[in-house]
């Protein structure tokens, strides 16, 4: 898995699928996965503490289905076409944008189109620019992947910035992490 991405992601809620998800995680626990790995509990229904996991963080789903008006800002946005190894720059469903003031990168975010939505992750913004950055990313997503809802998850100050920028705040989720003994 790319760095900072979970090894397991739950995709359905419910008791019957939760049992199957736990079985899959138990199988992975018995495998030889190296180092630290994680589970994104998309519906916050699994308790993995008995399997040696710790909560890395809790967050809330966010959603923006309508692009916002062009935010006025001195940040200039650019879609990146190459960079760190492991990022899928050649994939037409992936887009990474950086925002610059002059030659300095001051903001950014990544999009991935899948299953009729665009996922937003790795948002970077200074607190003073956060609201504008979140709005700019909504517009960039709409321009890059037209007519698809934009979704992601955030916590803390980033969640507040997304809310202030007009994103809907949804259900809770949890990210679990475990280090190999």
pLDDT at 73: 85
Q: Which fold has domain 63-170?
A: Aminopeptidase (3.40.630)
Beta strands 76-80 and 117-125 are unpaired
Residues of the chain with pLDDT under 70: 1-4, 65-71, 85, 180-181
Burial of 146 (0-12, 13-18, 19+ CB in 10 A): exposed
Tens digit of each residue's pLDDT (9 = 90 or more) over 84-132: 767 889 899 999 999 999 999 999 999 999 988 999 999 999 989 999 9
Residue with tokens 């049992």: 19
Residue with tokens 């009729």: 116
pLDDT at 3: 60
Domain coordinates in residue numbering, the chain: 8-59+173-179, 63-170
pTM above 0.85, yes or no: no
Residue with tokens 């997503």: 141
Per this entry, what is the length of the chain?
181
Burial of 125 (0-12, 13-18, 19+ CB in 10 A): buried
């Amino acid at each position: 898995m790319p760095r900072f991405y979970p090894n397991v992601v739950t995709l359905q809620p419910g008791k019957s699928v939760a049992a199957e998800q736990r079985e899959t995680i138990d199988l992975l626990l018995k495998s030889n996965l190296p180092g630290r790995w994680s589970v994104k509990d998309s519906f916050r229904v699994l308790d993995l503490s008995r399997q040696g996991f710790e909560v890395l963080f809790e967050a809330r789903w966010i959603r923006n289905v309508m692009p916002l008006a062009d935010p006025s800002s001195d940040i200039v946005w650019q879609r990146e076409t190459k960079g760190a190894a492991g990022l899928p720059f050649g994939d037409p469903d992936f887009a990474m944008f950086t925002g610059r003031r002059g030659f300095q990168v001051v903001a950014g975010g990544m999009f991935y189109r899948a299953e009729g939505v665009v996922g937003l992750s790795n948002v970077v913004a200074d607190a003073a620019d956060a609201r504008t950055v979140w709005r700019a990313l909504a517009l960039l997503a709409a321009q890059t992947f037209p007519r698809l809802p934009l979704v992601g998850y955030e916590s803390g100050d980033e969640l507040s910035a997304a809310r202030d920028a007009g994103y809907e705040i949804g259900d809770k989720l949890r990210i679990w992490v475990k280090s190999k003994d």
